[in-house]
Structure 1
Amino acid sequence: MTTSSTTRPYASLQECKNAHAQLTDTFSTGKTKSLRWRKWQLKQFWWMLEDNQQAITDALAADLRRHEMESLTSDLLGLKTDILEHLEHLEEWAADEPVKSAGFIMGRLGKARVRKEPLGVVLVIGAWNFPFLLTLQPVIAAIAAGCCVLIKPSELSVASQDLMADLVSQYLDPQAVRLVTGGPQETTGLLELKFNQIFFTGSSKVARYVSAAAAKHLTPTVLELGGQGPAIVTSKADVDLAAKCIAWAKFLNAGQICLSVNHVFVDPKIHGAFVQKLVYWTNKFSTSGHMCKIVNRRNFDRLDKLLNDSKGNVHQVKVDREHCMMSPAVVTDVDMKDSLLSEELFGPICPVIKRTYKDAVRDIKSLSQPLAIYMFSNERSEIEYVLDNTNSGGVTINDVLMHYAVPGAPFGGVGESGMGYYHGKYGFMAFTHQRTIVEIPSWLHKLTGARYPPYDVGNKGKVTVKNHLGFRRGESMEDQTVGRYSYFCRGSGPVSLELCGDGFVVDISWVESMIMPLI
């Protein structure tokens, strides 16, 4: 049996099979379909986090040397917010939905509706960089959807893994929610079991193994991955703001974030000013003493080698291999063939590349679709050009990471950066089967007899579909009328937001220029 760096042994394959069998038996009873059970478990989840906040932040400090404030905002805030959102909307999301477009016969007479049903027994494989948030947030959604859940946290965050194992067994229903530990060998064994859904957060390399294993059972997957997320800073940007935000992205969790800025494209006109500001902010943040460590020696050595192999000019990097510490490093004079652009960095290294925003778009399109693009500009035409000519999981304009935290919005990747979505209702639906139901009155069969053989060509008129939209033969592409629905500001200036007194004060002079849906 494989063991972690603690004295705790990993779960054996038999223990994994037993847990899977227990969950399968529980789901077959229908216990987890009860909305009362789901609400009860979500509230237990809340108290698990509330009662053990200090223990959780201590575990994150042990694993990543993370400051308590960073852990509270990065891991716990998102989890507790998600629990409240699921509790508030659970009955609404779980309710049958009438099919409004079904018409009189199918809708009114046939009572056409979509029923929300849990997928069944699901596997959630978490990540080490935000071990509580990225492991438990999908679990919240799965419980809300009525699924039984087998949780596999990352073995690289040992203290978090061990604490999670204790808390899950103490607070959550052991018949319906189980946690097993293990490394690659144990995970491989888990993937041989049949699940009704697999939710994986991690690298695209491991995701390929997960997908291949899932395919053997035709198991659907949600894959939350990463990629080389670029930032674009144009000549119309607030240079100091852009540098500060990007430096923070590289400081937060030591850049070990799937959403972090991987590299920066900067307009040549402002390159010098931007680099100066970026060096200033990275130095200011890294000297605070609140920097996380690189998770382990293997990842530290990987980053160190990438830096040493780079042909760029490295600014102010400080490394401490013994403690796996690395300050944010700004690297200039690099091109797209540099070692630092050969893979997702996942660390506090920031290559800066001279490019106009249009040239940056060309380079972005030459790589796989990223999880995020960050655009810094106060010129609407530049922003629209980037949005229209790129594809990514999400976009944040004039900031970093923020699209992850938009309430009610889906979060997920595209292509190499992932598949599927979660957060809020999208997480609930990721673990939900939408079952279409229609009840045809028996008397209605008298009106549909033409469908049964022997067929009568005299009934052809009864199966004609009329063109009620009124389009005509011979129309050209130019004849088409297209309305664009888009919300954005006419003005080129950013929204002013400042903290004042008891709350936020917003400069709303820009509201007059807000575009309503255009038809």
Structure 2
Amino acid sequence: VSMARQVVQRAKEAFLSGRTRPLEFRLQQLQSLQRMITEKETEICTALKQDLHRSQYDTPLLELISIENELKLAMEKLSEWASRRPVEKNLLSLSDEVYIHPQPLGVVLIIGAWNYPWAVTLLPLVGAIAAGNAAVVKPSELSEHSSLLLRALLPRYLDMELYPVVMGGASETQELLRLRFDHIFYTGSCAVGRLVMEAAARYLTPVTLELGGKSPCYIDKNCNIMVACRRITWGKFVNCGQTCIAPDYILCERSIQGRVVDCIRQTLLEFYGIDPKSSPDYGRIINRHHFNRVVGLMEGYAPVLGGQSDPSQCYIAPTVLRDVPPHSRLMQEEIFGPVLPIVTVSDMDDAISFINEREKPLALYIFSSDKKAINKMMEETTSGGVTVNDVMMHYTLSSLPFGGVGQSGMGRYHGKHTFEQLSHHRACLVRSLAMENVNLSRYPPQDRRRARRVKMALKSPLIDMSKRTLVWAVVATIIGCALFITLMVILLVAAGLNCTCWYWRGFYN
């Protein structure tokens, strides 16, 4: 029996033991994970410095704070998320208990990515723990130092059987995918996403695929171009461009292309100085393979900014290319590096057509001061998420679902959305064996009268039986009864007085 099979079997047995079902256990595991992030921040920053040349100041901003926020939210809201959720009833179920009960799915496989090896691995894990699942964690082998540290730390803070870490490359991932899971959560490329979905189909396993694609960034001539370019420059070149929701390319009218280039030039000088290679805030490509791929995408172009590279350090300077042809290879593949092409369009309608002719992106960025133009582009395009007059910031809100559409992925997560994604929403109806007369109309032998009764009951409007509605219903009933009793008393008193008057009138006569 392979090691992966043994790990998965132990996780399954641990889950079936029932230890994840109490909310107290889940809270304890979430608290331990929070403690790990707090206590080991220095080691995590060091590992990311070794993997991606990541600044020690960027790691908390780009990864750790989002994990801490997710943990805090899950611990605060767990009782609410996991509670039964009453739903509306019809006339046939008025006296029944009708609710949705979130239940754990079972054993979840989480396949992390190398570009943000802590956030994209631990954010799904937070949701898996909160939902009461076991989870097998497979970090990326490319971010070697972070993966080794994760393997060393998780068993010290979390239940070793329920949340094991499996190391390895493509062969180990393939071995895991041959096993049966209750959900697979994958973050990475579209090509591997297809293989994951194909493997999951064998057992009809549901999947969450957080992929990527080419996220467009439209700059309207009616906006503050300097501010727009500063925000775009940060989003594109942070983490050396290795961000799934980074602006992949710029769309703008030819009349402002030169201004856009000048503003990006000024911003790069402001961010990284004359020599970005010596800047502590500028990262590196993860390995030589990806370095060669990104450099290959630039072949045949004369950069207006940057273009320098050093294979010994996997360094590629922040690079801008202008007048890039729409059908070039550079515009067919996700760049995932510090290269920013500019494609010119005639107007917003042309930009919308350009976006809609391609696969649906993971993110769309719109820079404009015209609300009508913003609404037009939002209504006439589709993307996983959208941010207006900034980039990537929709990712930071746990209240917003994060995920793709079409080729950019399926499923969603962050905050409650992760809990929902990794839970089974069990439909529950609990009724009494009493009041059998209510059910007689649906039993045979049928006739026109019985059929009419059942039809009327089934077609009756749904009734909201939430606590607030019930309170108001009780209050309204009490008020109605009080008014009825008062009216009856008044009528009786009036009738009594009338009788008395008639009595004394007859007496005197």
1:268 aligns with 2:241: no
Is residue 331 of structure 1 aligned with residue 321 of structure 2?
yes
Q: What displacement does 1:468 show?
A: 8.4
Question: Displacement of 1:456 after TM fit?
Answer: 2.0
1:124 and 2:124 are equivalent in the alignment: no
- 2:222 equivalent among 221, 231, 236: 236
> What secondary structure is seen at the aligned counterpart in 1 of 2:46?
helix
Q: Return the alpha-carbon distance in structure 1 between the equivalents of residues 272 and 331 of structure 2.
A: 23
What is the SS of the residue equivalent to 1:33?
coil
Please tell me whether residue 142 in structure 1 is matched to residue 128 in structure 2: yes
Per the alignment, residue 32 of structure 2 pairs with 44
Q: Which amino acid in the other structure matches residue 182 of structure 1?
A: G
The one-character-per-residue Cα deviations of 1:429-452 (angstroms, maximum 9, x if unpaired) are 111111111112212432222322
1:215 aligns with 2:201: yes
Distance (whole Å) between structure 2 residues aligned to residue 342 and residue 231 of structure 1: 16
Where does residue 513 of structure 1 map in the other structure? none
2:435 is the counterpart of 1:448: no
Tell me, yes or no, if structure 1 residue 366 matches structure 2 residue 357.
yes
2:501 is matched with which residue?
none
Q: Take 1:314 and 1:225, find their aligned partners in 2: how far apart are those partners?
A: 30
- Confirm whether residue 317 of structure 1 aligns to residue 307 of structure 2: yes
Task: State the 1:104 CA deviation.
Answer: 5.3
Matches within 5 A, 1:433-444: 433-444=424-435
Q: Is the 8 A contact 2:4 2:166 kept in 1?
A: yes
Q: How do residues 442-481 of structure 1 correspond to structure 2 at under 5 angstroms?
A: 442-465=433-456
Aligned residue for 1:32, secondary structure, equals coil
Q: Which residue of 1 aligns with 2:342?
A: 352
Distance in 2 of aligned mates of 1:325 and 1:314: 18
**Once the two structures are superposed, what CA deviation does each residue of 1:470-500 show, in whole Å capped at 9, x if it has no partner?**
xxxxxxxxxxxxxxxxxxxxxxxxxxxxxxx
CA contact (8 A) 2:442 2:450 kept: no
Equivalent residue, structure 2, for 1:392: 383
Q: Which residue of 1 aligns with 2:472?
A: none
Give the drift of 1:461: 1.6
CA separation in 2, counterparts of 1:331 and 1:357? Answer: 21
- Equivalent of 2:270 in 262, 284, 291: 284
State which drifts further: 415-424 or 262-271. 262-271
Deviation at 1:314, TM superposition (A): 4.1
> Could you say what secondary structure the match of 2:343 adopts?
strand
Deviations 1:144-176 (A, max 9, x none): 100001000000000000000000111111121
Secondary structure of 1:31's match? coil
The one-letter amino acid paired with 1:102 is: K
Which residue identity lines up with residue 233 of structure 1 in the other structure?
I
Cα displacement (A) at 1:236:
0.8
Give the aligned CA root-mean-square deviation in angstroms.
Answer: 1.6
Percent sequence identity is: 35
8 Å CA contact retained: 2:305, 2:318:
no
Match of 2:56 in 1: 68
- Residue 58 of structure 1 aligns to a residue whose secondary structure is helix
The whole-number CA distance in structure 1 between the counterparts of 2:30 and 2:184 is 20
Q: Is 2:114–2:140's contact at 8 Å kept on the other side of the alignment?
A: yes
**Per the alignment, do residues 448 and 104 of structure 1 end up closer, same or farther by CA in structure 2, a change over 3 Å counting?**
closer
CA deviation vs aligned residue, 1:45-74 (integer Å, no higher than 9, x gap): 011111100000000000000001111111
TM-score, normalized by length of structure 2?
A: 0.87
The answer for the alignment partner of 2:77 in structure 1 is 89
Matched residue of 1:77: which SS?
helix
Aligned pairs for 1:176-255 within 5 A? 176-255=162-241
AA partner of residue 439 (structure 2): T
Report the AA paired with residue 337 of structure 1: H
Corresponding residue number in structure 2 for 1:406: 397
Equivalent position to 1:20, from 4, 8, 13:
8
Letter in 2 for 1:137: L
Question: After the TM superposition, which parts of structure 1 deviate over 4 Å for at least 4 consecutive aligned residues?
Answer: 465-469
**What is the TM-score with the length of structure 1 in the denominator?**
0.85
* 1:494 alignment counterpart: none
In the alignment, residue 346 of structure 1 is paired with which amino acid? F
Q: In structure 1, how many angstroms separate the alpha carbons of the residues matched to 2:215 and 2:126? A: 27
Q: More helix per residue: 1 or 2?
A: 2
- Within 2, Cα distance between the matches of 1:72 and 1:159? 17
Deviation at 1:313, TM superposition (A): 4.7
Larger RCO (CA under 8 A, 6+ residues apart): 2
Given candidates 152, 162, 179, the residue that maps to 1:166 is 152
Structure 1 unaligned regions, length at least 5:
1-12, 470-519
Is 1:56 equivalent to 2:47 in the alignment? no
How far does residue 453 in structure 1 lie from its aligned partner after superposition? 2.9
Shift of 1:339: 2.2
Q: What is the rounded CA distance, in whole Å, between the counterparts of 1:188 and 1:24 in structure 2? A: 19
SS in structure 1 of the partner of residue 434 of structure 2: helix
Q: Specify the structure having the higher radius of gyration (Cα).
A: 2
What SS class does the counterpart of residue 68 from structure 1 fall into?
coil
